[in-house]
Structure 1
């Protein structure tokens, strides 16, 4: 019989096991981990390490006692993407509003960003569930790369690097090379600074292999879908809804519902018609509106950010700088300066135009 527990139940079990000494938390110079036993779950061993700005690595192993359903876990880290490598054990996962139930299987890989997304996982008793995860924050980890350099990465990762965060989910397979690196991480014999160097190198190797696989998969996708005239109308209608709701846009599924089209066709059709994703279009439109508003000098930078739907002014500034090469305040000053310079060198209405045979100095 499957035992169903909520996110709060799960946290309570962890805390109880730590208080009774069944689970021990341990630290070294760089790694934090837990080891022990949790009721209803079984033996646990996990550890994590921060590698560099916006990049971390974690290993999670559970020897499961019984079938377990973890209900309504809430993914909190809105800006983080996660690469998961399933070394052993299978899980049934549902990410509400992103994917229907899927079987996440041993020797498979998953790349996802599921900010504020309710998640349900079903674990199978009697199995050893071992997951290796690499998490990264594109805005920090990829900040020193140009858009052209980032172009081989999934489009959603590129957009996240510019500040546009949207849920996504990709799956792949663990190649022999990935399995070998995962084994090396799980059996790392170094300690201290050497351990950190080693794990960072292996994490970057795994990321390279995974992104290369996703790039190759994208090259072999099926041809563009055929869009009927009413499909095109719905896609343009969806675009209009986004523009009308800059501050609080609907989710992808809600947008698809509003225009009476399935979300898969909406996503593919949007790429086909506008050359970008739904929220990539929204991101670019917001910044174009910001550019126009800054030119008027009628609003402060904070007011412009709010007007186009950015809650965090610093995120707005970073996205604007990425697109236009200047901070918003610098752009506004430079635009006004250029306008003033242009007006000073333009002839006044009372000035006479030189005769056609004379060249103005």
Structure 2
């Protein structure tokens, strides 16, 4: 037994013209028994574009029938997998991929217990061409109808997940702002994400489909994980949390850090915190206790011990130098 759901993206877009965010329950009815999440809905980016955050666990198996007349769907999947049918074509949506389609209808099937993490952006096809400047003349003929035809193609254009796109997606998924800042932030990052993907498409070799290389996607994930450590020294994620955020398992994350940096993720995260502390100390603009607080230490003593163990000197020796 599974839940059957239906969505019409044109209806969602029409409703978003009047308000910035719509909960999925307004279209699907109560969904608390299907999606275990804090937010499941659709957010306006501009009048022709909206965004959906995939950050939930499927509480039960469900199928989702979607109609998207003349709308292009761009989906970045960081973690989790499910199957999708478009016409006679069936494929798996897998982690660390970017898939683009505008086929008028599709049906997906997600098993209970699946944890999905990613971003979906829906944009009017003509808006993608005229407003964002997506060029189609060099796209392979098999994929060109996705952008040049209302009927699209019964398959997706698959792109490698770039480090830049993965980092923006993580920023969206990790956003802790309340409204109205949350809406402003989501819109800005959604536009940035579309710009990056259009640039990626425009830079593809003429007439050739892009190659999806697993190693390069993993390298992008490792780079994003390192950037997360540097961006969040005040509250570094655990290895399990970091692995989930970039779509890798713990072993791949640890092996990737050792190959890229010669350090475990934990050691790299500690190094990033100490380097940020060193930068703040050198400015001399804030107290050592405030430096400790900004990189996540409860007090001066614990920070001083960690700093001395890392650099072999007291933090006071670098304050204001």
Return the TM-score normalized by structure 1: 0.44
Tell me: higher relative CO, structure 1 or 2? Use CA pairs within 8 A at least 6 residues apart: 2
Q: Who wins on radius of gyration, i.e. which is larger?
A: 1
